[in-house]
Amino acid sequence: MKKLLFIAAAFVISSAAFSQTKAEESIKFSGSAHDFGKIKQGVPVTYDFQFTNIADKPVVVESASASCGCTTPKWPQTPIMAGKKDLINVGYNAANTGAFSKSITVKVAGVDAPLTLTISGEVLAADAYDAWVKEEATKAAAEKNTKSKSKEKSKSGK
């Protein structure tokens, strides 16, 4: 019986010693995904993923690696103090047309499981992008015109 109790106690102690902190317990991102929407081919875009150190000690971001060479993450090279905010800047080279979804794996020191950030969007050829921008501007102008006519009707009806 003592032997069984000793083995059980050893198991509990060793499992506690080997448990790892989750990255989500060290840093918290304001959002883990960003959709660029429609972007113009040949025009690189960037986005800043903001995070906060929610641990009670400094945190080091060891690396941020992208799923392909068209995505370039930049991360802080110095420790982030407890309660402080910082950024991981992600650039995307919009060389090829079509929809895209890319992941960025963020490794925090002392944590086994990394965090994943995602960027997505649709790259349009220059002429298609220009036509889309013109169409959106026309829609916005029509909507604004409809709203102002609606306001005029409600004012004159009083």
* pLDDT single digits (tens) 135-145: 999 989 888 88
3-state secondary structure of 124: strand
In degrees and rounded to multiples of 5, residue 38 shows phi and psi of -90, 130
pLDDT of residue 4: 45
pTM (predicted TM-score) = 0.76
Cβ contacts of 143-149, under 8 Å, gap ≥ 24: none
Q: What is the pLDDT of residue 147?
A: 76
Low-confidence spans in the chain with pLDDT less than 50? 4-20
Q: Give me the pLDDT at residue 5, please.
A: 42
pLDDT for res 12? 39
Per residue in 59-88, pLDDT (tens digit) is 999 999 999 999 999 999 999 999 999 999
pLDDT at position 16, please? 37
Q: Tell me what pLDDT residue 152 has.
A: 67
The reported pLDDT for the residue numbered 55 is 93
Residues 114 and 67: their CA atoms lie apart, in Å, by 14
Whole-number Å distance between alpha carbons of 108 and 104: 13
Compute the radius of gyration of the chain from its Cα atoms: 25
Main-chain dihedrals φ then ψ at residue 65, nearest 5 degrees: -120, 140
